[in-house]
């Protein structure tokens, strides 16, 4: 019988290796797997490459990993969001590498990996500093930039409901990067508010199908 539910947050992040690329879902503070990020801090992996839209808030979750010096590089579109002092301190101390990527390019690079493709040409960033050093091609008279696929060793996700197979539903704008990151990592781990019986999720409403999910841990809704 397939059962992807694990008992503890520690079980959920077990096995993450030093140097791993971690896909961290969320936009601002919404749809972020804060409990899994805290568990990853406890787990202790170092030299992490973080892929996220923003770069942590306050001193919890991703920001805590940054403050503890566990992160080697951040690939994101917009680090300056909320209280990003953890990122700012590391950035100014030059202990952290930043790869700034347009937001739609980050998500499409992950989908590209998920789809088994070797990259894509995009008009976004063509002729700008962010395209420096990248291959370009004119397609139908318009300059395009070659973007490589982006893969995670692990994705840390947050969803609303899961069943034991790992089918997922989300709440409102907390969906954001979760579905595309679920598809783009070798190991996709999700914290959910609730487990439900297999068959009780409306098949028309499942957003992330079970094939993209490896481990599920129940943390309950926010207090």
Residues that bind another protein (CB under 8 A): 27-31, 53, 77-82, 87-88, 91-92, 98, 100-105, 107-108, 110-111, 122-130, 170-180, 207, 222
Q: Which is nearer to another protein, 60 or 175 (CB)?
A: 175
Q: Which is nearer to another protein, 16 or 63 (CB)?
A: 63
Q: Which is nearer to another protein, 165 or 170 (CB)?
A: 170
Q: Which of 152, 150, 155, 169 is nearest to 214 (CA)?
A: 155
Q: Which is nearer to another protein, 21 or 169 (CB)?
A: 169
Smallest distance from another protein to CB 17, Å: 27
User: How many beta carbons lie within 10 A of that of residue 73, not counting itself?
Assistant: 14
Smallest distance from another protein to CB 200, Å: 21
Q: Which of 88, 11, 20 is nearest to 50 (CA)?
A: 20
Q: Which is nearer to another protein, 43 or 193 (CB)?
A: 193
Smallest distance from another protein to CB 44, Å: 27
- What is the per-residue burial (b if ≥16 Cβ within 10 Å, else e) of 142-163? eebbebebbbbbbbbbbbbbbb
Smallest distance from another protein to CB 103, Å: 4
Q: Is 180 helix (H, G, I), strand (E, B) or coil?
A: helix
Instruction: Count Cβ atoms within 10 A of the Cβ of residue 61 and give its class: 0-12 exposed, 13-18 middle, 19 or more buried.
Output: buried
Cβ distance 186 to 159 under 8 Å? no
Smallest distance from another protein to CB 157, Å: 12
Tokens of 83: 């209280």
User: How many beta carbons lie within 10 A of that of residue 129, not counting itself?
Assistant: 7
Q: Which is nearer to another protein, 107 or 167 (CB)?
A: 107
Q: Is 118 helix (H, G, I), strand (E, B) or coil?
A: coil
Please state, in angstroms and rounded to a whole number, the distance separating the CA atoms of residues 46 and 71. 6
Smallest distance from another protein to CB 211, Å: 16
Smallest distance from another protein to CB 104, Å: 3
Q: Which is nearer to another protein, 7 or 129 (CB)?
A: 129
Q: Report the run of H or E that residue 191 belongs to, with start and end.
A: strand 185-195
């Amino acid at each position: 019988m397939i059962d992807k539910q694990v008992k503890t947050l520690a079980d959920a992040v077990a096995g993450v290796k030093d140097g791993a690329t971690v896909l961290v879902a969320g936009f601002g503070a919404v749809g972020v797997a804060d409990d899994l990020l805290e568990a990853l801090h406890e787990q202790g992996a170092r030299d992490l490459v973080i892929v996220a839209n923003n770069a942590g808030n306050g001193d919890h979750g991703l920001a805590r990993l940054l403050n503890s010096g566990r992160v080697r590089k951040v690939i994101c579109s917009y680090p300056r969001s909320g209280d990003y002092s953890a990122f700012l301190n590391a950035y100014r101390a030059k202990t952290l590498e930043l790869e700034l990527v347009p937001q739609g390019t980050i998500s499409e690079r992950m989908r590209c990996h998920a789809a088994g493709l070797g990259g894509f040409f995009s008009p976004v960033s063509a002729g700008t500093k962010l395209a420096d050093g990248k291959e370009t091609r004119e397609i139908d008279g318009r300059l395009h930039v070659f973007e490589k696929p982006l893969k995670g060793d692990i994705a840390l996700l947050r969803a609303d409901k899961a069943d034991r197979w790992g089918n997922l539903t989300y709440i409102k704008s907390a969906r954001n990067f979760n579905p595309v990151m679920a598809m783009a990592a070798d190991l996709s781990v999700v914290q959910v508010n609730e487990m439900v019986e297999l068959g009780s999720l409306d098949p028309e409403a499942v957003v992330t199908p079970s094939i993209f999910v490896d481990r599920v841990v129940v943390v309950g809704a926010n207090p």
